[in-house]
Amino acid sequence: MAVIEASDLTKTYGDFTAVDGISFEVAPGESFGLLGPNGAGKSTTMRMIGGTSLRTSGSLRVLGLDPEENGPLVRASLGVVPQQDSLDEELRARDNLIVYGRYFGLPKAYLTKKADELLEFAQLTDKAKEKVSALSGGMKRRLTIARGLVNEPRILLLDEPTTGLDPQARHILWDRLFRLKEQGVTLVVTTHFMDEAEQLCDRLIVIDHGTIVAEGSPQSLIRDYSTREVVEVRFGSTRNAAMEGPMRELADRIEVLPDRILLYAHDGEALLDEINRRGHTPLTSLVRRSSLEDVFLRLTGRTLID
């Protein structure tokens, strides 16, 4: 049975529709992603799942329950990692976990043991007595995740878990999330980073302007909506637009971005050789594998990060 079932889920703010009739299911133990640009409606969807935002219409079941009718029960089974860390800066790291656990009515004896276990999991044991204000961004994120796990949730909701973190901090965080997945926790992740979605998600929905534009595993989305490889060529600001015509002759599909042209191909190296053979020599070029960014571009005509 699905742990989350959304059907025709809709949220409007006045006459603006932020989430526009989306339907999806999340299976137990799955790592499920909501991928889309800023403003697509991802956080709003997460808040409805967590029962902190009321839906306008449609139906929603979390572990078989409606979060609006059974808020406390649903929240007891959910861990929430909001977009902005909402830790108590003045409290020590360990005390943040204990105080948060008290909101769930969890007993002190359980919490003192659990806090140590979670600090260990978050690789923060040596920071247990530090005030939150003294922790780095990556440490705060890991502490927020640890806090979300204090009630041993079956589902962890993560809203843009690595936004603002440097590459090393992101990798540490991804590693911790993989471990949770191995333990059977269902992860629901919003992100506008395609590499994060590719790394973490078994399956995802691509959201744009409040609607689902595609759904599937990262591999199947790339297979269905892109070619195996992409050639990126830069001709410089004065030549870029003029090269559109010649590039179109060389590939079934191209995308002209302000600073470069993308050519979709099965064999990128062969295509790049042909570009050079015809004397269109670009200033810089690279051949890479297709990514979810290409899927998004194909579906919406825009890049994920505007």
How would you class 156 by CB atoms within 10 Å of its CB: exposed for 0-12, middle for 13-18, buried for 19 or more? buried
Note whether 18 binds ligand ATP by CB under 6 A: yes
DSSP characters for 157-196? EEESTTTT--HHHHHHHHHHHHHHHHTT-EEEEEES-HHH
Residues 6+ apart with CB under 8 A from 6: 22, 23, 24, 25, 45, 49, 58, 59, 60, 61
Indicate if the alpha-carbon torsion angle 116, 121, 127, 132 is positive or negative: negative
Q: Identity (one letter) of the amino acid at 272?
A: L
What is the nearest approach in angstroms of ligand ATP to the Cβ of residue 284?
Answer: 31
Is residue 38 at the binding interface for ligand ATP, with CB under 6 A as the rule? yes
Asked if residues 231 and 263 have their Cβ atoms less than 8 Å apart, the reply is: yes
List the interface residues with ligand ATP, window 92-111 (CB under 6 A): none
Structure tokens at 58: 């449609």
The structure tokens listed for 100 are: 């948060």
Contacts of 18 (CB under 8 A, 6+ apart): 11, 12, 41, 44, 210
Judged by CB under 6 A, which stretch of 39-47, 195-203, 261-269, 273-281 contacts ligand ATP?
39-47
Check residue 13 for interaction with ligand ATP (CB under 6 A): yes
Segment interacting with ligand ATP (CB under 6 A) among 25-33, 36-44, 127-135, 269-277 = 36-44
55 binds ligand ATP (CB under 6 A): no
Structure tokens at 298: 């194909």
Residue 257 CB, nearest approach to ligand ATP (Å): 22
With CB under 6 A as the contact rule, the residue among 3, 33, 42, 227 that binds ligand ATP is 42
Binding region for ligand ATP (CB under 6 A) out of 37-45, 71-79, 88-96, 171-179: 37-45
Pick the stretch among 41-49, 70-78, 279-287, 296-304 that binds ligand ATP (CB under 6 A): 41-49
Q: Is 84 in the site for ligand ATP (CB under 6 A)?
A: no
Q: Which stretch binds ligand ATP (CB under 6 A): 10-18, 113-121, 179-187, 218-226?
A: 10-18
- Choose which of 31, 44, 199, 227 interacts with ligand ATP (CB under 6 A): 44
Distance of closest approach, residue 209 Cβ to ligand ATP, in angstroms: 9
Handedness of CA 216, 162, 159, 213 (dihedral sign): negative
| Dihedral sign of CA atoms 305, 210, 189, 90 in order | positive
The correct pick among 30, 32, 43, 96 for binding ligand ATP (CB under 6 A) is: 43
Q: Using CB under 6 A, which residues numbered 178 to 197 contact ligand ATP? A: 192
**The one among 21, 28, 29, 39 contacting ligand ATP by CB under 6 A:** 39
- Name the residue nearer to ligand ATP (CB basis): 20 or 88: 20
Q: Which residues bind ligand ATP (CB under 6 A)?
A: 13, 16, 18, 36, 38-44, 160, 192
